[in-house]
């Protein structure tokens, strides 16, 4: 047993010592043979005191008074234990049954006009998920993780709103440019997708992992890995890619390449303005069973005064009964 305020026991012990000391002081200062004015002397009282019945009564009263003192001392000490807040510990390992979803957003110039719409779709997706861990990575010529996988949806909404408002920028460097222009070229989708696929944790656990990739696949420059190579890597680590393309079915070349890459991972590609996009993505993501993710073991402390309170109540009742019996 642990105590939150162990010093309270010392306080209780001090109260007991002070009470006993005060009682002894009063007893020592009282005259040994005080006769009340209202009482009358009894002749040959020593013969009465010698009677077995009288001596038995004195012993019973002495035992009763001793019991009152002992009960009072124990009750005071137990009261000190209760005031000290007894604690018990329990080791728990939190388990989160969920899926992992990485939002992957192309913030290149060709996407500037539609990224606000994409972020709105992301927020609608957030409303459709419950308990899933969600992260966000943005990319242009270089990728940047905005926030890692988390199930704190208020935190996620705050950052999605912050990124969305940055497209209405008046500053010289908006938020979605910071860290995404560290290299030649623009809209390097292969590098962006590969970076998003590498953001998943707990790789030794078999989990449902998905990437929702928003891009028009209009690459400008040479990337480290191609879109298909990135898709192959995602597939090799069990990540499915669901693509959102604002120009799907308009530009057949890049659009077809994006569809093929997404489908090669077991995912799908959707047009941004299709009416069933959000519902379809949610349904496709939830096709895979949610799995348990065990967190780090934690020690939880809780107040456990109940047993001590029960003992104190019993002692208090016994104290009152004895006080009544000895007419104190």
Examine the pLDDT at 139 and tell me if it is beyond 60.
Answer: yes
Q: Are 158 and 265 in a shared domain?
A: yes
- Averaged over 259-284, what is the pLDDT? 80
pLDDT value for 119: 85
H/E stretch holding 320 reads helix 306-325
Query: Which tokens hold the place of 205?
Result: 């656990």
Half-sphere exposure of 143 (CA within 13 A, CB side): 22
Same domain? 100 vs 12: no
Evaluate whether residue 281 is within a structural domain. yes
Same domain, residue pair 110 and 72: no
> pLDDT confidence of 231, banded at 50, 70, 90?
very high
Q: Are residues 100 and 188 in the same domain?
A: yes
Would residue 109 count as lying in a domain? yes
Q: What CA–CA distance (Å, rounded) separates 172 from 154?
A: 28
Q: Which segment of 103-117, 167-181, 195-209 scores lowest on mean pLDDT?
A: 167-181
Mean pLDDT along residues 86-114? 79
Residue 17: Cβ within 10 Å count: 11
Q: Does 117 share its domain with 164?
A: yes
This prediction has a pTM of 0.59
User: What does the pLDDT read at residue 149?
Assistant: 92
Handedness of CA 194, 198, 199, 205 (dihedral sign): positive
Count of domains in the chain?
2
Q: Is residue 217 part of a domain?
A: yes
For residue 61, CA distances in Å to 47, 53, 160 come to 19, 12, 80
Question: Does any domain span residue 48?
Answer: no
Main-chain phi, psi angles of 14, to 5 degrees: -65, -40
| Domain boundaries, position 158 | 95-294
101 and 171 in one domain? Answer: yes
Helix, strand, coil: what percent of the chain each, to 5?
A: 45, 20, 35
Confidence band, pLDDT 50/70/90 cuts, at residue 148: very high
pLDDT for the residue numbered 83: 87
Same domain, 154 and 172: yes
In a domain, 33, yes or no: no
Question: By C-alpha distance, which of 160, 190, 186 is closest to 175?
Answer: 160
Residues 137 and 259 in one domain: yes
Residue 252 has pLDDT above 60, yes or no: no
Within this chain, do residues 129 and 233 fall inside the same structural domain, yes or no? yes
The rounded distance, in Å, linking the Cα atoms of 127 and 31 is 85
Within a domain: residue 208? yes
Contact 73, 312 (CB under 8 A): no
Residues 149 and 14 in one domain: no
Whether residue 163 is found in the same domain as residue 248: yes
Which CATH number is 251's domain given? 3.40.50.410
Are 215 and 156 within one domain?
Answer: yes
Q: Which range is least confidently modeled, 6-20, 225-239, 248-262, 287-301?
A: 287-301
Sign of CA dihedral 242, 245, 246, 252: negative
Of 182, 178, 192, 267, the residue nearest 223 (C-alpha): 192
């Amino acid at each position: 047993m642990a105590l939150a305020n162990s010093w309270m026991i010392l306080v209780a012990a001090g109260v007991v010592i002070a009470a006993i000391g005060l009682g002894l002081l009063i007893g020592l200062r009282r005259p040994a043979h005080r006769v009340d004015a209202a009482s009358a002397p009894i002749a040959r009282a020593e013969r009465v005191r010698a009677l077995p019945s009288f001596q038995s009564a004195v012993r019973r009263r002495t035992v009763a008074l001793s019991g009152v003192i002992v009960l009072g001392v124990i009750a005071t000490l137990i009261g000190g234990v209760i005031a000290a807040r007894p604690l018990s510990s329990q080791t728990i390992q939190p388990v989160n049954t969920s899926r992992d979803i990485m939002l992957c957003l192309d913030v290149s110039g060709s996407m500037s006009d539609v990224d606000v719409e994409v972020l709105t779709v992301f927020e609608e997706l957030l409303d459709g998920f419950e308990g899933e861990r969600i992260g966000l990575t943005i990319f242009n010529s270089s990728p940047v993780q905005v926030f890692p996988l988390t199930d704190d949806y208020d935190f996620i909404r705050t950052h999605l709103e912050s990124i969305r408002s940055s497209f209405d920028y008046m500053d010289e460097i908006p938020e979605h440019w910071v860290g995404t222009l560290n290299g030649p070229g623009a809209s390097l989708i292969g590098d962006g997708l590969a970076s998003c696929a590498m953001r998943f944790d707990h790789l030794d656990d078999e989990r449902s992992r998905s990437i929702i990739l928003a891009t028009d696949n209009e690459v400008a420059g040479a990337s480290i890995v191609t879109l298909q190579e990135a898709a192959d890597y995602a597939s090799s680590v069990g990540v499915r890619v669901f693509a959102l393309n604002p120009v799907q079915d308009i530009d057949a070349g890049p659009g077809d390449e994006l569809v093929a890459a997404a489908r090669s991972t077991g995912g799908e590609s959707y047009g941004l303005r299709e009416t069933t996009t959000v519902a379809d993505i949610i349904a496709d993501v939830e096709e895979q069973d949610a799995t348990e993710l065990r967190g780090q073991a934690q020690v939880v402390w809780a107040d456990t005064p109940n047993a001590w309170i029960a003992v104190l109540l019993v002692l208090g009742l016994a104290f009152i009964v004895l006080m009544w019996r000895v007419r104190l």
